[in-house]
Structure 1
Amino acid sequence: MIQIVPFDSRHAAGVVSLILPIQQSEFGIPITLDDQPDLRDVPGFYRRAAGNFWVALDGEAVVGSIALLDIGNHQGALRKMFVAASHRGREHGVAKQLLDTLIQGARTHGVQEIFLGTTAKFLAAHRFYEKSGFREIDRMALPQGFPVMAVDTRFYCLATTQNAA
């Protein structure tokens, strides 16, 4: 049974072991741990204001991750959403559980819009986000505080309340 829990320091090595191989080997993105200081200090980077970082656990093994970065103005950035290949797909439901947890956490903390950036290579992710209610937006429509990564070429937004634009 998969559990979604807030990040704890005991998950640090598992998070790195999950994320780096997906970025580097699976998608051929030339990124290292040193390029991602947020992974060296998850609580300090993500647990500010409405932000948080969650992991999906299969027993004690980290099989998924997702983060909400508070970017101000009742807005958040979805970051670090990764699911181990062994746990992907609708039959496992890990990605949906992670995203549902993030959206509920965002709503609880008054976040009205969630933005994300992704690469053109993550085709399955594009379909997943669109099926989950995210709409593709132009880079110019991103809020000023959104941290655009060098590899990001597609951007999405989800209104978490009916009042959000």
Structure 2
Amino acid sequence: MKLQIQPIGNAYSEQLIDLILTIQQKEFNIPITAEDQPDLKQIESFYHEGGGNFWGAFIDGELVGSIALVKFGERRGALRKMFVKKEFRGRELNIAQMLLETLISFCRENGIDELYLGTVSVLKAAQRFYERNDFTKIKKETLPERFPLMSADDIFYHLHIN
């Protein structure tokens, strides 16, 4: 099994929608649709052009994970779309950790030192993962003004990258 993490663009939209919606809807019953997430069909204009990026994790050519960065403001970014297929989760493969490290390296190289994210309260493992990685829980009211809010999110985190 060979894991590869690489930047992806619009050519992967359908695979990404399949990966993400399966986790959101089937696994966690989050009432969100592809229409609620138009960014997934406009990866290049939504993520890349603004100074962010979108990465896919592939095992033997299959898309098994994703993470994205929306740049907003001079030195700020929002972590988005962090998902790993159920059967590929966990510490053996460590895909989530490698995806996060890829995103943080990109932030360092591009002068982004404040990272924010929103998640959903049912995603307990995700919250533990962010907390293990030094993210601090913050109140919605303290989010920066231009933070790109997703309607389903109800828990928010911040990481200062040094």
State whether TM-score is above 0.5: yes
Q: Distance in 1 between matches of 2:120 and 2:10?
A: 28
User: 1:8 aligns to what?
Assistant: 9
Equivalent residue letter for 1:63:
V
Residues of 2 paired with 1:56 and 1:134: CA distance?
Answer: 22
Maintained 8 Å contact 2:15/2:63: yes
Corresponding residue of 2:65: 64
Q: Comparing 40-49 with 58-67, which one deviates more in the overlay?
A: 40-49
Work out the percentage of aligned pairs sharing the same amino acid: 47
Structure 2 partner of 1:127 = 128
The separation in 2 between residues aligned to 1:39 and 1:11, in whole angstroms, is: 9
Match of 2:38 in 1: 37
1:137 aligned partner, one-letter code:
I
CA deviations over 1:60-96 (Å, ceiling 9, x no partner): 1100000000011300000000000011001111000
TM-score of the superposition, structure 2-length normalised?
0.96
Corresponding position of 1:90: 91
SS at match of 1:35: coil
Once residues 31 and 114 of structure 1 are traced to their aligned partners in structure 2, the CA distance between those partners, rounded to angstroms, is 24
* Letter of the 2:100 counterpart: L
Q: TM-score, structure 1 length as denominator?
A: 0.94
CA contact (8 A) 1:4 1:55 kept: yes
**For 1:139 and 1:31, how far apart are their aligned partners in 2?**
20
Tell me, which stretches of 5 or more residues in structure 1 are unaligned? Answer: none
Q: Is the 8 A contact 2:9 2:54 kept in 1?
A: no
Q: Secondary structure at the match of 2:35?
A: helix
Distance (whole Å) between structure 2 residues aligned to residue 138 and residue 35 of structure 1 = 23
Provide Cα deviations, 1:85-131, integer angstroms capped at 9, x if missing partner.
01100111100010000000011110011000001000000000000
Q: Deviations over 1:32-66 (max 9, x none)?
A: 11111100111110002430000000111100000
Distance in 2 separating the partners of 1:107 and 1:117:
21
State the partner residue of 1:159.
160
Partner of residue 142, structure 1: 143
- List 4+ stretches of structure 1 deviating above 3 A: none
Distance between the aligned counterparts of 1:139 and 1:9, measured in 2? 31
Tell me the secondary structure at the aligned position of residue 72 of structure 1: coil
Query: How many positions carry a matched residue from both structures?
Result: 161
2: CA distance between counterparts of 1:8 and 1:138?
A: 32
CA RMSD of aligned residues (A): 1.0
- Measure how far apart 1:11 and its partner are: 2.3
